[in-house]
Structure 1
């Protein structure tokens, strides 16, 4: 078959599009959940390894395919086959709907392999610029914007018990860091249990139920979220199941610990027997499985009268 420069550049554009997707996803996710370490070195290391690794891998594959088209073609073919096998092997039954739903993700890899195999580059410098430049441009643009926002988060270093005056006449005492406000992930049932057994000082768990502390409800959390030290005037609409704010909240003091991996707080409200509602630091409200861990935690509250 005759070599074609158009198939070669189409392959580069498609490969670059995949790298761009991972550049966008990795940059957004990094500053959403990953940027919480105390030093810049730690944050950048985690960013490169955990969040930008897919982008870097696909850029590397693209560079190999541009310099050595046959080897690059084989790499993309193997990735496409491996990804297809992984997708379909995890399904109990392979139906037409399953095939059609995953085809847009698996077919491009195989098509890229085919295009590289029959492609011929007249200008490898241009191809390398497309393969490397566009993903890095997206990564840098998002990272600079998000990095500036994260660097301006308000943090007063106070991890003790706090009285937080929120919107809609919501004023609560929020537990100090410890068993009632852990840095590690906690599922919903364990969060409920800890609230029940948490002593009045909020720093220790008792052997018997105390029933002083509790999980906040959705309205209480959304009404208490802040940004730059100011309350965001959150209003929870239970009918629409959404919260509205005068300006977007962020992961800041006094409610959040910017150096903790926790970005979701459990609430006391359940969707059903298996799911409960969480509130994200940016104000979003979602239902999640009660057994979910990862970046979800809680902070116990009590009435000011019980202080």
Structure 2
């Protein structure tokens, strides 16, 4: 029993657990956020591959691996907490949530250092079993969780038409802007809402005006009134090909409910509607990242809407039946917007 719970075995078990968590995260994200360009999805597997490489190094050279794990754990955990504190403010939940895949590395490193004096006495079959478990278990986790999303992604509908589209949703019919300045990514809600506020454009408006908009402060955040008066869609040309310097009043930002009701699955409306709260929304079928609303192989998987969620946050819609909220000053390459107008306008 004492042999089973040796420092080396405990360290190996924890390493496998960390690698397995990264494998699960990587597979989930590569099909959720990363499946839009050749080899782009490999980025999401790097944490699991890195964790596996360090595990194998530590099994072969426990002292080297131990110090490597301690150093990486301290640096990575510190960086994660500093990033969270700067953007969202540090909380006990965030500290505990990131510990298993960052701070825990320090503990594992110490265990490998304690095991090092006894490592040379381990039998070759035991060492081979360690390599097999360290590689095989995360691989099984990754493959197992990849089956369903791989089948789903392989069956997505993409008609190749990314131009102006009319979408008849669940009780709402709208014209959606073509790919271009009216359907773009990497824009914050503040930038969208304040586009037309002189000087016209996105520049300098990421953090609102005068630039103090964050999770803990609403100072400078764009408002619903700003969105209605200055939003970028108002400046989109009639054909959706360019942003003008003066408002055209053809296009507008969609509401949260309009985006939800326009979600599709295999070319048909998915029967979704917004219940007024963030979270998973009621749908008759689960929508997917498909045309005519989405471009399956584009980075965008979240669309900003015109609605405020709080004094600091705004609503966005995920392609799969979910409404989320985020700080109005936070932008992502996977989050964008798409302008709309009524039929016949």
What per-residue deviation string (whole Å, max 9, x for no partner) do you get for residues 185-210 of structure 1? 22224434321111222223233211
5 Å-filtered alignment, 1:201-212, equals 201-212=239-250
Partner residue in 2 for 1:65:
58
Cα deviation for residue 115 of structure 1 reads 2.3
CA 1:158–1:141 in 2, change beyond 3 Å: closer, same or farther?
A: same
Partner residue in 2 for 1:81:
74
CA 1:219–1:18 in 2, change beyond 3 Å: closer, same or farther?
A: same
Whether the 8 Å contact between 1:187 and 1:291 is mirrored in structure 2 is yes
Whether the 8 Å contact between 1:221 and 1:279 is mirrored in structure 2 is yes
Partner residue in 2 for 1:172:
174
Q: Please tell me the root mean square deviation across aligned C-alpha atoms, in Å.
A: 2.8
Are 1:131 and 2:170 counterparts?
no
5 Å-filtered alignment, 1:49-60, equals 50-60=43-53
Which is worse superposed, 74-83 or 263-272? 74-83
Which secondary structure does the structure 2 equivalent of 1:173 belong to?
strand
CA 1:137–1:293 in 2, change beyond 3 Å: closer, same or farther?
A: same
Cα deviation for residue 97 of structure 1 reads 5.6
Gaps of 5+ in 2: 194-230
Cα deviation for residue 164 of structure 1 reads 0.8
Which is worse superposed, 24-33 or 206-215? 206-215
Cα deviation for residue 31 of structure 1 reads 1.1
Structure 2: distance between partners of 1:87 and 1:232 = 38
Partner residue in 2 for 1:113:
109
Which secondary structure does the structure 1 equivalent of 2:281 belong to?
strand
Are 1:280 and 2:274 counterparts?
no
Which is worse superposed, 112-121 or 23-32? 112-121
Cα deviation for residue 111 of structure 1 reads 2.5
Structure 1: distance between partners of 2:313 and 2:95 = 30
Which is worse superposed, 249-258 or 102-111? 102-111
CA 1:144–1:287 in 2, change beyond 3 Å: closer, same or farther?
A: same
Structure 2: distance between partners of 1:238 and 1:170 = 17
Structure 1: distance between partners of 2:79 and 2:256 = 38
Cα deviation for residue 239 of structure 1 reads 6.0
Structure 2: distance between partners of 1:31 and 1:55 = 15
Structure 1: distance between partners of 2:82 and 2:343 = 54
Which is worse superposed, 147-156 or 98-107? 98-107
Are 1:254 and 2:292 counterparts?
yes
Which secondary structure does the structure 1 equivalent of 2:286 belong to?
coil
Cα deviation for residue 82 of structure 1 reads 2.8
What TM-score, normalized to structure 1? 0.86
CA 1:98–1:197 in 2, change beyond 3 Å: closer, same or farther?
A: closer
Whether the 8 Å contact between 1:279 and 1:286 is mirrored in structure 2 is yes
More helix as a share of residues: 1
Whether the 8 Å contact between 1:65 and 1:73 is mirrored in structure 2 is yes
User: What is the count of residue pairs matched by the alignment?
Assistant: 294
Whether the 8 Å contact between 1:266 and 1:279 is mirrored in structure 2 is yes
Structure 1: distance between partners of 2:91 and 2:293 = 48
Whether the 8 Å contact between 1:4 and 1:118 is mirrored in structure 2 is no
What per-residue deviation string (whole Å, max 9, x for no partner) do you get for residues 107-147 of structure 1? 53232223223333330111011111111111222233322
Which secondary structure does the structure 1 equivalent of 2:33 belong to?
helix
Whether the 8 Å contact between 1:278 and 1:285 is mirrored in structure 2 is yes
What per-residue deviation string (whole Å, max 9, x for no partner) do you get for residues 254-302 of structure 1? 0001121011111111123432110011121011122222111111111
Whether the 8 Å contact between 2:165 and 2:177 is mirrored in structure 1 is yes
Partner residue in 2 for 1:296:
335
Cα deviation for residue 103 of structure 1 reads 9.0
Whether the 8 Å contact between 1:179 and 1:194 is mirrored in structure 2 is no
Structure 2: distance between partners of 1:109 and 1:19 = 11
What TM-score, normalized to structure 2? 0.77
